[in-house]
Amino acid sequence: MTALVNCRNVEKSFTKGKQTVEVLAGINLSIEEGDFLALMGPSGSGKTTLLNLIGGLDHPTGGEIEVNGKNLNALSSKALARWRSENIGFIFQFYNLLPVLTAQRNVELPLLLTKLTRGQRKKNAATALEIVGLADRGKHKPGELSGGQQQRVAIARALVADPKLLVCDEPTGDLDRDTADEILDLLQTLNAEHGKTIVVVTHDPKAADHARHTLYMDKGKLAEAVSM
């Protein structure tokens, strides 16, 4: 297997006024294609920050990030936007669906950036909804769906452009135990059967059970995986 994600000496600091907060202090990380990685650690340790860098939502202040053979440092924000739409699926704690659009249209949204025809877009969105088990909920608005269902729609939206890498920031953080397990099962299926590489930031120890690897983060540094 080749490494899909390569972080070399990645640093990130935020400057507010005169104060500079160093959040990531030289991260070295490589994630193999097909991996399912759980990233754990205390609040404020920099998990989200690292995930955002891998997903191309932000630029590092030091070091290099390479994803799917592309050096992200070199991309302009416009090029990065395009790159994200083709390569990364994002899943958030609070689903982040657009409330004014139906589930079907939320899922279709990323495809507006592709050259697909209207018919193809609709078809692909329907397929993605089917994969997450919500084929019959396409016409519902997010407000009419449960938290677990909304997260499934969000997963369908992350899948629809067929990216290699899914990055998930506490995808079960807002769900009850059973629903959380269903979502974790779904992610596991996507990893095992659809070959998606998945990085999950989580506080949920059970998430680690579904992952192939677990990494711990503390104060902006990665610690060795401790097997439990």
Partner 1 sequence: MSTFSLIWANLFRNPTRTSLTVLSVVVAFMLFMLLRAIAAAFAGGVDLAGVDRLVVSGKYSAIDSLPISHVRQIQAIEGVDLATHQHWFGGIYQDPRKFFPKHPVPPETYFEVFDELIIEPDVLARFAATRVGALATVSLAERFGWKPGDIIPILGDIWVKEDGSRLWEFELVGTYAYPPERSGGDEFLLQYEYFTESVIDHGKDAVGWITVRVSDTDRANEIAGTIDKLFENSADATRTATEDQFRRQFAAQLGDMGFITTMILTAVFFTIVLLTANTMTQALRERIPELAVLKTLGFTDSAVSLLVLGEALMLCLIGGVVGVILALFLEPGLNAQAVAFIGNFEMTPLTITSAIGLSVLVGLIVGAVPAVTAKRLTIVDALRQR
Ligand X SMILES: Nc1ncnc2c1ncn2[C@@H]1O[C@H](COP(=O)(O)OP(=O)(O)OP(=O)(O)O)[C@@H](O)[C@H]1O
Contact 132/145 with Cβ under 8 angstroms? no
110 contacts partner 1 (rule: CB under 8 A):
yes
Type of residue found at 11: E
Contacting range for partner 1; rule: CB under 8 A; set: 67-75, 87-95, 186-194, 197-205: 87-95
Instruction: Specify the residue for token string 């009419």.
Output: 144
- The rounded distance, in Å, linking the Cα atoms of 190 and 41 is 24
223 contacts ligand X (rule: CB under 6 A):
no
**Number of helices (H), then strands (E), in the chain:** 7, 10
Contacting range for partner 1; rule: CB under 8 A; set: 21-29, 31-39, 97-105, 191-199: 97-105
Helix segments in the chain, DSSP class H = 47-54, 77-87, 103-108, 118-131, 147-159, 177-194, 205-210
Residue 177 interacts with, from partner 1, ligand X, Mg ion, none (CB under 5-8 Å by kind): none
52 contacts partner 1 (rule: CB under 8 A):
yes
Residue number, 83 or 147, with CB nearest to partner 1: 83
48 contacts Mg ion (rule: CB under 5 A):
yes
Residue number, 43 or 77, with CB nearest to ligand X: 43
49 contacts ligand X (rule: CB under 6 A):
yes
Q: How far apart are the first and last CA of the chain?
A: 25
For partner 1, the binding residue among 3, 25, 101, 126 (CB under 8 A) is 101
Q: CB 193: neighbour CB atoms within 10 A?
A: 9
> Which residues are at the interface with Mg ion (CB under 5 A)?
48
Binding region for ligand X (CB under 6 A): 14, 16, 21, 23, 43-49
